[in-house]
Structure 1
Amino acid sequence: MIQLGVFHKLPILRERSVGLYLGDINKEEDQILLPSKYVPEDFTIGDELEVFCYLDHEERPIATTLKPFITLNEFALLKVLEVNKYGAFLEWGLEKNLFVPFREQARKMVEGKWYLVYLYLDETTNRLVASSKTNNFISNEELTVEKFDEVDIIVSRYTDLGVEVIINNKHKGLVYNNEIFEDLSLGEKRKGVIKKIREDNKIDVSLQQIGFKNIEPSSAKVLEFLERNNGFLGLHDKSSPEDIEAILGMSKKSFKKSIGHLYKEKVIVIEENGIKLVK
């Protein structure tokens, strides 16, 4: 069967009055209709078309050239168009609205409001369904990211400590309030950097594009020392070259260059008696 909820590149098999049939010529279960209204003006049998596949109003698999706002196993911020006795229906860029059963609503949805939802395939009904219970679809038990990785994040919730984000559609992270220097909107997608992974697998995320993986060795060394020593290093630009060499194993010139870089990227603050990691 053709996977629902994702884009496919499928060859045109034949033309009929209702549209084009796409898919595998040898497997009827892997064929799908592209209705006439989506058929391009110029085409040749055998051409490949990129289409999105889902169920139409009569619960039949169908292809479309329209681009939905969300695809299978992803998160997106969507608007509620209607609420009835069955649940809520979201606008997602296709003719048939996206269904959210009451059991999948973190709180009762209201017409006209926007919600961050996850799109999944209900294996019992073979229908695409959305859920605003986003925590059910992410986990930090088995992490697939490491410190300093650049990741894709989605703003998911505001807390007293900061802004919770979804990392790579898989994990939960937090950007602390004192590291946010711009407005962040619910559902906003952007890049982030894994700043710290704690013992309980909680993840701190930075919005600053420091490029930790490519950071110069001396800056990385200072950063690692700070992480291991409760965020403080008792050295500064007036420290003797001997002290710097003894503690960090680098020259004073390299040390000054490294802390200048980290300060510019807002990773550290420089105090009278040393440098401190921004938390």
Structure 2
Amino acid sequence: AMGVFVAIDKKYHGLIPKRELHKDYSLGDIVEVRVINVREDGKLDLSLREKAYLQMDIDAEMILEKLKYLDGVLYLNDNSSADDIKLQLNISKKAFKRAVGTLLKSGKIEFTDDGIKLKEENA
């Protein structure tokens, strides 16, 4: 499948590509999207995610919550496969690396031999 087709304000048609979908949607669901491209035929390509610099904070917060839930340790790092990251966090490897960079810079996490962990003061 290509993704999910969306009606916007009962006037426009758009497509959320399959790679953007992180959960199942049903007919009638209301979603907030961002237009990423307008095609020559007037149809819209849509994204469920914010622009990278905004989404990064959302992803970083989600990773922090996941770390707290998993007793402060997550067995994922820059060497993890994109599939493993997608499976565990439902984000792309690129988004994961941006979010982890944010958390490292802010001193909330540190790398371990096999993943990342919360620094003690954040546990």
TM-score, length of structure 1 as denominator length: 0.23
| RMSD of Structure 2 on Structure 1 (CA) | 1.5
Equivalence map 1:114-153=2 (5 Å): none
Higher relative contact order (CA 8 A, sep 6+): 2
Task: Name 1:238's counterpart in structure 2.
Answer: 79
SS in 1 for 2:83: helix
Structure 2 unaligned runs (5+)? 1-55
Q: 1:271: how far off?
A: 1.3
Indicate which of 226, 229, 252 corresponds to 2:67: 226
Structure richer in helix, relative to its length: 2
Amino acid at match of 1:217: I
Say whether 1:255 aligns with 2:96: yes
Task: Name 1:270's counterpart in structure 2.
Answer: 111
Amino acid at match of 1:224: E
Structure richer in strand, relative to its length: 1
Amino acid at match of 2:112: E
SS in 2 for 1:216: helix
Distance 2:113 2:99 in 1: 18
Equivalence map 1:1-279=2 (5 Å): 216-279=57-120
Q: Give the percent of matched residue pairs that are identical in Structure 1 and Structure 2.
A: 38
Q: 1:216: how far off?
A: 1.2
Structure 1 unaligned runs (5+)? 1-214
SS in 2 for 1:223: helix
The number of aligned residues is 66
TM-score, length of structure 2 as denominator length: 0.52
Amino acid at match of 2:97: K
Distance 1:241 1:265 in 2: 24
Q: 1:272: how far off?
A: 1.6
